[in-house]
């Protein structure tokens, strides 16, 4: 039976490397479509949880994982020798930046080497990790070709960018259109055939490079526009104009305008990182991506702006930031999810500490702050109650979780710095409200 025949009959075993925010929902979609799936991860705790039917990602319920497990089509493993039994291997691993904002492809290349050790004729390999144009054919392909096998005669290779938006109730993996581009036409055809049986809409493009570039364009578009509205926020603030009211007015135009909203900085695995993958690659061609660099500069500055606004608000209340007790709300990078990757809140907390403040945080999704590559706060969340909030000289709302939108929480708060326009205080409130 050929690979395409195995795909069409759903006898194709799908191996997915990486069972995080991208790999796990993808695994579930393929199981739900009728495919046998092996979820591979280096983290034994994740593998054990999945094999128990438990989810470790809040917006993906354990009941969904349990249902998938009960079909008998899902299992998880740390044994990468399982790749030999997979007909399609999808790579969903992180692509972080290094210390100097250079691409770190170590996870991708480690995965490619793991596949290469078990590569056999008739397999399809698809990279989903966001990266610069050329990664699939310049970096991954040579690793696989070093086995002596060739594409398209022996194996197939494609790129299909992930488009996850954790916690978004309107869009999920199955209904988000899937862009697919292979390193050759047979690779594109096979990858399209596979995804079409699990995803509602599949968009084939002419090459892996086009597919890689499309994901970068999506995220650069957002990064640049968020930087623009953040710059306008600071400008209009100096002029005494409410940026939020300006946006509401502008978005009444039914054409030619897309609303973006300011915040305390960028978070998540995509927008703060992906644009710099293109900047790095563009330099190889003698191109300097000034919009990307400027957007990065503005967005990176936003935590400093928030801390400056907090310091001024405390001064206006007759207090100094040095020695002040400040509560920061939200470690997640966006509202109502348990994902703190690249969250600007960490930077805000450290800047407040550097300024001499005594800092605590509250986040119902993070009872304790997880240590990361850049930050280790050694803090636990304080209760989300009005009594708890009243113990602080200033409260800084960094993430607009639903729990933080209750105005009653701030009844006895002296200073509230709201970076998300999330709280509407009642008339006559004595709380000093600052939009930042």
* Residue 282 phi, psi dihedral angles, 5° rounding: -60, -35
Q: What percent of the chain has pLDDT over 70?
A: 99
Element of type H or E holding 158: strand 155-159
The span from the CA of 190 to the CA of 154, in Å, is: 13
Closest CA to 106 of 73, 143, 81: 143
The span from the CA of 419 to the CA of 262, in Å, is: 8
pLDDT of 373 above 70: no
Residue 415 contacts residue 314 (beta carbons within 8 Å): yes
Token pair for 297:
């500069």
pLDDT of 167 above 80: no
CATH code linked to domain 292-435: 3.40.50.720
Residue 398 contacts residue 345 (beta carbons within 8 Å): yes
Closest CA to 24 of 56, 67, 70, 72: 56
Q: Measured between alpha carbons, how far is residue 409 from residues 71, 236, 397, 405, 422 in Å?
A: 45, 28, 12, 8, 13
Strand duo 155-159 + 178-182: pairing: antiparallel
- The reply to whether omega before 152 is within 30° of 0 (cis) is yes
Give me the residue label for tokens 């892996």.
Answer: 208
Give the pLDDT score at 44. 97
- Looking at the annotation, which residues are catalytic? 270
Q: What is the pLDDT of residues 169-186, one digit of tens each?
A: 888 899 999 999 999 999
Q: Which CATH number fits domain 3-206: 3.40.50.720, 3.30.559.10, 3.90.550.10, 3.40.50.620?
A: 3.40.50.720
Q: What is the pLDDT of residues 81-102, one digit of tens each?
A: 999 999 999 999 999 888 888 8
Residue 202's beta-bridge partner residues? 178
Q: What is the pLDDT of residues 260-270, one digit of tens each?
A: 999 999 887 77
C-alpha 397: how far from its chain's center?
A: 20
Total-model pTM: 0.92
- Domain positions in the chain are 3-206, 292-435
Q: Angle at the Cα of 52 (from 380 to 170), degrees rounded to 5?
A: 70
Burial of 169 (0-12, 13-18, 19+ CB in 10 A): exposed
């Amino acid at each position: 039976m050929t690979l395409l025949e195995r795909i069409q009959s759903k006898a194709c075993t799908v191996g997915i490397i990486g069972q995080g925010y991208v790999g796990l929902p993808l695994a579930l979609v393929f199981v739900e479509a009728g495919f046998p799936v092996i979820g591979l991860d280096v983290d034994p705790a994740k593998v054990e949880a999945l094999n128990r039917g438990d989810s470790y990602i809040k917006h993906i319920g354990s009941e969904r994982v349990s249902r998938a497990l009960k079909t008998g089509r899902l299992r998880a493993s740390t044994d990468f020798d399982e790749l030999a039994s997979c007909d399609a291997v999808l790579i969903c691993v992180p692509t972080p930046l290094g210390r100097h904002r250079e691409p770190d492809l170590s996870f991708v290349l480690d995965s490619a080497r793991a596949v290469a050790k078990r590569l056999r004729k008739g397999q399809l390999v698809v990279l989903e990790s966001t990266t610069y144009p050329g990664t699939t054919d310049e970096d991954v392909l040579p690793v696989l070709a070093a086995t002596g096998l060739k594409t398209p005669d022996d194996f197939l290779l494609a790129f299909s960018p992930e488009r996850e938006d954790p916690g978004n109730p309107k869009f999920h993996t199955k209904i988000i259109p899937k862009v697919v581009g292979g390193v050759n036409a047979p690779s594109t055809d096979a990858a399209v055939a596979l995804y079409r049986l699990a995803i509602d809409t599949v968009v084939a493009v002419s090459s892996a490079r086009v597919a890689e570039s499309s994901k970068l364009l999506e995220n650069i578009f957002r990064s640049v526009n968020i930087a623009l509205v953040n710059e306008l926020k600071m400008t209009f603030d100096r002029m005494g104009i409410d940026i939020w009211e300006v946006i509401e007015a502008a978005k009444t135009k039914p054409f030619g305008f897309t609303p973006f909203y300011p915040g305390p900085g960028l978070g998540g695995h995509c927008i703060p990182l992906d644009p710099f993958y293109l900047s790095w690659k563009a330099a190889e061609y003698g191109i300097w991506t000034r919009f990307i660099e400027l957007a990065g500069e503005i967005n990176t500055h936003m935590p400093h702006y928030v801390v400056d606004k907090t310091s001024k608000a405390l001064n206006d209340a007759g207090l100094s930031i040095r020695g002040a007790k400040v509560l920061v709300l939200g470690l997640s990078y966006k509202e109502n999810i348990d994902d703190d990757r690249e969250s600007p809140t960490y930077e805000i907390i450290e800047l407040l500490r550097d300024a001499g403040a005594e800092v605590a945080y509250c986040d119902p999704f993070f009872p304790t702050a997880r240590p990361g590559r850049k930050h280790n706060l050694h803090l636990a969340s304080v209760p989300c109650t009005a009594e708890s909030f009243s113990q602080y000289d200033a409260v800084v709302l960094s993430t607009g979780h639903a729990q933080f939108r209750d105005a009653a929480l701030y009844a006895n708060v002296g200073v509230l710095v709201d970076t998300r326009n999330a709280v509407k205080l009642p008339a006559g409130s004595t709380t000093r409200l600052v939009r930042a």
